[in-house]
Amino acid sequence: MNLAEIRADFPILERRIGDRPLIYFDNAATTHKPRQVLETIQAFYTTYNANIHRSPHRLGQEATELYDDARRNVARFIGAEWPEEVIFVRGATEGINLVAYSLALGGSRRLRPGDEVVVTVMEHHSNLVIWQKVRDWCGVTLKVVDIREDGTLDMRQMREAITARTRLVCCTHVSNVLGTINPVQETGELAHRASALFLVDGAQSVPHLPVNVREIGCDFLAFSGHKMLAPMGIGALYGRRDLLEEMSPFLYGGGMVADVSLEEAVWNALPWKFEGGTPNVCGAVALGGATDRRTGRHLEGAVDYLARLGMEAVRAHERALTARALEGLRAIEGVRVYGPLDPEQRSGVVAFSVAWSDAHLVAQLLNDEGVAVRSGEHCGFPLAGRLAVEGTVRASFYVYNTMDEVERFIEALDDIVRHKLL
């Protein structure tokens, strides 16, 4: 990848923090947007803005076509067999909640007292808290699979946790704290062997790795657009078509019905029965990209941008940055790194702590050097407890980050530890 060309696409990278150039290492929280995506947002609102599916006028038709085209592009990007298997949502959190409400409270009622739902200790709160509520609603048993000391998932315990009573297994593809890349294909096989469904939190994998839902063999996968160069407020839920057909909607209102009387309603076909209300049409186009069929004009989305770079190249770039960061951090006195030490086993997320200092103080001191990182529990309170830390500092990399930035980050942290924290 040509990093000079890539960085030129991101206007925000020209910012300075005080007298220092911005080094943005908070990509696991949200990513910046390339000018191509920003131009698509502007083009949509200045040329195509209209509500979809119900307006017969020219703008309504164009907006509908762009929205549907974006769905096809997202489906292709993650390897879905049918565009209808992609539901546009606000983000991974809403997608996981959609599945939970439908399975627990909807017409299919797949989760009943005595059933088991299996999660892992490394789940983001988005893939844990809702299952705690499902436990309260339905009387299911919530089972938690631990990690090994190296930060990898304990697959022996996973095999033991999945039983004939298991109805659903939920697992993050990549930990947003440890960076661990979990063996989701193997986990899915274990779930299906027990006739259980398998849900994957792809918020930290779809933006960074080649992801194909059919190769993984998952029944559901949720991810957020803002973590992969798209705007906030848009994401997608992949669901196997036969499962989505039987599931009940999550949001009720306009657009998700085929017919309504004063007594009852008939749900719309896929995917619209899950997209009640006015959807984030512009966000979907900025995520998936779309082509105006009348003019041939293409509005580039985040998926287009990443596909042009190539997800194998994205993965290789981040792996190189991560390897150097791990090496540099481990050489600094008092710094402890969490998660696998082998870059092949992890993504570009590196959480660490300094033995004698608070994580928030370290992050603030790095900010003074122009380095943007995150501090705290990272929406993983149970994992922080498992690691016996109150919080960690997290550096996370993306396509526009450079090896020089990693070196400057290591130098800044080393200087902070030696001269400001000792």
Quote the CA–CA distance of 212 and 55 in Å, as a whole number: 35
Element (H, E) at 365: helix 359-368
Quote the CA–CA distance of 304 and 293 in Å, as a whole number: 17
Closest CA to 421 of 334, 333, 357, 329: 357
Report residue 230 CA to chain centroid gap: 12
Residue 81 is encoded by which pair of tokens?
């067999």
User: Whole-angstrom distance between the N-terminal and C-terminal Cα of the chain?
Assistant: 40
**Catalytic annotation present for 379:** yes
Identify any residues that bridge with 20 across adjacent strands, giving them in sequence order. Answer: 17
Residue owning tokens 């390339």 = 34
Element (H, E) at 349: strand 349-354
Element (H, E) at 65: helix 58-78
Contacts of 30 (CB under 8 A, 6+ apart): 226, 227, 232
Residue 163 is encoded by which pair of tokens?
């039983």
Buried b (16+ CB within 10 A) or exposed e, 7-16: eebbeebeee
Distances (CA, A) of 258 to 55, 106, 255, 273, 345: 16, 18, 8, 9, 47
| Catalytic option among 170, 218, 282, 379 | 379
Quote the CA–CA distance of 386 and 154 in Å, as a whole number: 13
Closest CA to 348 of 395, 302, 388, 380: 395
Residue owning tokens 């608070």 = 358
Residues that are catalytic: 379
